[in-house]
Every structure is written in structure tokens, then in C-alpha cells.
Structure 1
Amino acid sequence: MSNVGFRIVQYNNRVNQEVIEGFKGIATSNIGDVMGRMYAMDHSIKSVNKPGIHIVGSALTVRTHPSDNLMVHKAMDMAKPGDIIVIDACGDMGNAILGELMCHYAKTKGIVGYIVDGPIRDLYSIAEMNFPVFAKGGTPRGPYKEGPGEINTVISCGNVAVSPGDIIVADDDGIVVIPKGDVEDVLRKSQDIQTKEKMVIESIYNENWDRTWVDETLKRKGCKVIDEYAYREK
């Protein structure tokens, strides 16, 4: 019996930690670009921390009723160091899914952070302790602890499908989801882009950044350059 809607899946097939560590320091924008700009969560899920946040970890997924966090508590107990708890609360803003106490507990467990498609509470305290949390906003209204929900099934968070074990990278720009079967390829390509960007920045300050592509693109797309006086006469 599958018990859809109220079930916990035991999942231990995490990506090699050395590969996960490789994403540290790589901007979400670079990672997103190599995945066709398709795997970034909706902009409404933002960091509640001070600027400069950057986290990388393995997704432990939770699907919960928008007003309830029972399964989030269970996920906290199940989580292993290096996990990021990713919560599908349907984007509803009615009840906070977690608060300060859950962040302190997560910190002692080695949990990297929370991603919440919904609201949280105790925003100031969480920002002050600087435990990584990304959410849609805040509300003082607390959650119930009744269920139902699911742990370690495929969820939707910020309009992106997230499977248990996918790699999450989040920073001030937002959150990207890297499918676990593609992590090594995405890592290599992301590192290449990061290297190229450093070279471009160097060329900018050396005043030799090649800008010919701009006019070449405009010409190819049929853009016309018109004399100012000829334009006015029309």
C-alpha cells in the first residue's frame, strides 16, 4: 500500500560529497546558465539572511499541507549533515512553516539550510543568527502539527521539480536545482563559465574587452542604423 499523501521514503543515495563541495563559491547565475536557464526557483523565494549568503547541499524534500509542519519536524530528525531541507508548502502564505527554534535545532544537526515555498516566522532572529533560510516571506501565524505530508518524494518548490538527492545551490540571487544525474556535467560547465568570467573582468580593466559581437548580432537580426536628421524628417 503506497499511502500517497502521508508517507516517508527512506533515501540514502546522495551524490558524492566531493562533487557537492565543488559547487561552493560558484554563483547560481553561472550554474543556471549552463542548465538552459530552466532550473531556477521563482524569485519570490528569497534569502532572509544578511547579504553574502551562499549554500550548497543535498535536497531532503518535504511536501506538507500549507498550514502544517509535522513532516518538516520529522525531516529535521532524519536529516544528515550537508542536507538542505526543501519544503513544498504550496506557496500558501497563511501559516509559518518554521521559525527560530527549528533553525537552532537544524544548526546542531549540521543541516545546511531551509528552502520554503511558503512563509516563516521569527525573521529577525533567524537573520541575526545567520542560519540560511530562503522563504516567500513572513507571518506571525504558527502552523499545526497534524499532517498529512510526504518526505523524500518528488516535490515542486518555486515552480521547479525537486527530487531527493538533487543538489541545491542558493545565494543572494536565488536558488538553482541541479538534477542529481547531471551534477558532474553541470559542475564542469559551471567551473568553465566562472573561469571565462574572470578572464572577461580582467579584459574589461585592461580595456581590451571584445565588443564586436553586439553590432554583429544587431546586423544579423536586421537592426538599421538611421541618420538622426533623416529620422526627424520622417
Structure 2
Amino acid sequence: MIEEPKMLRIGPDVARRPTKDQIAKFQGVPTGFVVDAMFGAGAMEARIAPLSGANTHVAGPALTADNRPSDLLATLGCLRYLKAGDVLIGAAQGWQGCAAAGDRVTGMAKNAGAAAFVTDGPMRDFQGVLEVGLPCWCTGLNPGSPYGTGPGQVGTQVVVGGQPVETGDLIVADRDGVVVVPFAMIDAVAARIPDVQAMEIALDAEVRDGLSLPDPIAEILDGDRTEVL
């Protein structure tokens, strides 16, 4: 006999957040720079994209909701624990059969202080979500309503878009997608971002000046690592 599960479980790290100074170092930083500073890691799958296509940038701590497919009780439970600037992560285990949230949920999340909503499911109420004004990243649209019966977990580790996410991890999201910076790596990644920015700026200048083939690629093409068939 299986014991009846609790409807909601709250994780022990539900209050963990990076500092304001740590978050500030990622404000306005393109997601591509963050991924480069993580040596190519951290990006969620491309199917998780901005709902409106608007050129919005968000950087803030994750608060995770671990929902069963077709359910959003954990997402609703997060509303009590949201702190100003949080990115609410509504994990739906990739379920595409109904929406993971709509305009009322995003409206309440915004009222509670959320800076954004990210899910690996679709959303509904497109026009209403736009009117709420909370930036959202999701897999698309589906008019179906989710249940709110659980069970679910708040503040525990989830996997969204192929990336593990824990409450307190730093989420950076823009038009290109969503990146997860693990809590323990925030300082190290922030320290590498200026070098990444400097290299990007230098390469941009070279392209504007007419660069058509980078020197390292020319060396490969002209050296013994290339074979002409």
C-alpha cells in the first residue's frame, strides 16, 4: 500500500538567494556571454523561448516549482515564497498537453515580486500574459488548463530544458534563451564575464574593419591538420 503523499513539500533551501551585488554583475549581460564564461555550459534547450519575442533581459535568483505533468500546484505554492526579483521556475517535466500557467498565475507572480517566469511547458492566455507584463519563457502556447491537485515540491532541484536548477541559482534570460548559473559558481562566472566581453568587443571591431576569416581558422586550413581530397 502506498502512503498518501503530501500535496506540497517545501525544500530546505527555499530561502537561499545570491546577494544583490552578485545579481548586479549579471544585469544587462547577454546570455551568450554568460555561457561563454561557463565554458559552454548552462543554456536551456532552444525550445524554451521568450513568449512574446520581445528583446527583454532578466537576471535574478531561481525559485523552483516541481510540478507533475499537467499540474501547477507547486507553482502556486511558490507565490508565498517569492522574493522581489526572483525568477519563478515552473517545471512541468516537459509536458506539452496543456499549459503550465496563464495570465492569472503570472499576474499573481508579478504581484508577489517575480521578475520573470520560466517553464518547460507551454503557456496560455497570450494576450492576458502580455498585459500582465511579466517576462515569460516557455515552449509555446496551449489553451488547455492545468490541474492544481499536486503533489508538488517548492524549492527543490528540478530539471528544466536539460539543465538542473536549484533555488538560489542565478537565471539569466534574454531573446536568445535562458541560462542557469549554479549558486556555487556565481562569483567565478561573474569574474570571467569582463574578459568575455573584452574579447567579444575586440572581435566585433575586427569584423567591422573587414575581417572575413579568423587567423586561427586560416592556420588550420593552411596547415597539416587539413587534408584536401
1:56 aligned partner, one-letter code: A
Q: Provide the C-alpha distance between the structure 2 equivalents of 1:123 and 1:173, rounded to a whole number of angstroms.
A: 20
Q: Provide the C-alpha distance between the structure 1 equivalents of 2:93 and 2:157, rounded to a whole number of angstroms.
A: 13
2:122 is aligned with 1:119: yes
In the alignment, what sits opposite 2:70? 67
The count of aligned residue pairs is 224
In the alignment, what sits opposite 1:40? 43
In the alignment, what sits opposite 1:230? none
Deviation at 1:5, TM superposition (A): 8.2
Identify, as 1 or 2, the structure richer in helix: 1
In the alignment, what sits opposite 1:9? 11
Contact 2:15 2:81 survives alignment (8 Å): no
Deviates most, 212-221 or 155-164: 212-221
In the alignment, what sits opposite 1:194? 197
Q: Provide the C-alpha distance between the structure 2 equivalents of 1:191 and 1:181, rounded to a whole number of angstroms.
A: 19
Gaps of 5+ in 1: 227-234
2:85 aligned partner, one-letter code: G
2:30 is aligned with 1:24: no
Deviations 1:8-35 (CA, angstroms, capped at 9, x unpaired): 1252221111111110111111111222
In the alignment, what sits opposite 2:54? 51
Deviates most, 97-106 or 175-184: 97-106
Indicate the SS of the match to 1:53: coil
Contact 1:203 1:209 survives alignment (8 Å): no
Q: Provide the C-alpha distance between the structure 2 equivalents of 1:128 and 1:217, rounded to a whole number of angstroms.
A: 52
Deviates most, 104-113 or 89-98: 104-113
Contact 2:48 2:161 survives alignment (8 Å): yes
RMSD value, Cα: 2.1
Deviation at 1:195, TM superposition (A): 2.2
The two structures have a TM-score, normalised by structure 1, of 0.88
Residues 190-229 of structure 1 correspond to what in structure 2 (within 5 A)?
190-207=193-210, 211-220=214-223, 222-224=225-227
Give the % identical residues: 30
Q: Provide the C-alpha distance between the structure 1 equivalents of 2:42 and 2:139, rounded to a whole number of angstroms.
A: 18
Deviation at 1:208, TM superposition (A): 6.8
Query: Could you say which structure has the larger radius of gyration?
Result: 1
Q: Provide the C-alpha distance between the structure 2 equivalents of 1:221 and 1:33, rounded to a whole number of angstroms.
A: 29
Residues 57-136 of structure 1 correspond to what in structure 2 (within 5 A)?
57-136=60-139
Q: Provide the C-alpha distance between the structure 2 equivalents of 1:61 and 1:83, rounded to a whole number of angstroms.
A: 10
Deviation at 1:145, TM superposition (A): 1.2
Deviates most, 100-109 or 170-179: 100-109
Q: Provide the C-alpha distance between the structure 1 equivalents of 2:213 and 2:102, rounded to a whole number of angstroms.
A: 49
Deviates most, 7-16 or 26-35: 7-16
In the alignment, what sits opposite 2:176? 173
Indicate the SS of the match to 1:182: helix
Gaps of 5+ in 2: none
Q: Provide the C-alpha distance between the structure 1 equivalents of 2:168 and 2:143, rounded to a whole number of angstroms.
A: 31
Residue 214 to residue 68, structure 1, CA distance change in 2 (3 Å):
same
Deviations 1:133-171 (CA, angstroms, capped at 9, x unpaired): 111111111011111010111110001111110000011
